[in-house]
Amino acid sequence: MSGKFDVAIIGGGVGGCAIARELSRYQLRVAVLERAADVARGTSGKNSDVVHTGINVPVGSVKGQFNVADAQIFEQYCEDLDVPFDRCGKVMVALTEAELPDLETLKAKGESIGVKELEIVDRATL
């Protein structure tokens, strides 16, 4: 491969590939530089397959803002790429009665940052 590029992206993980995909919509010559033999061989290939909502990071943090925004668009992104996706949810459990207020706090925090479909359920419902 030779020539000049408008943009060089270092790393072919999820982030690098997503950036390359977005830049492909423009008239740019884009190169993705990856040290491994294929993309997603590093951290991206070893993740836990969780779409983070931002509920466990500080309110107002950049990470939290990206988590919320990404979680909301992830399903459409997978559909565009014909990648199976099932939004199965996450269960956070209070092990004692004393921990129940912690769930209320997490729910309120999540709602304040835009996390959708939060509910507190009892043992029987779960």
Residue 87 makes CB contacts below 8 A (sequence gap 6+) with 51, 75
Helical residues (DSSP H) of 1-126, grouped into ranges: 14-23, 62-81, 100-113
Of 52, 70, 74, 107, the catalytic one is 52
Reduced to 3 states (helix: H, G, I; strand: E, B; else coil), residue 111 is helix
90 is catalytic: no
Contacts 24+ apart (CB under 8 A), 123-126: 126/91
CA angle centred on 106, ends 103 and 111, rounded to 5° = 125
Residue 54 buriedness (CB in 10 A; 0-12 / 13-18 / 19+): buried
Reduced to 3 states (helix: H, G, I; strand: E, B; else coil), residue 116 is coil
List, by residue number, the catalytic residues. Answer: 52
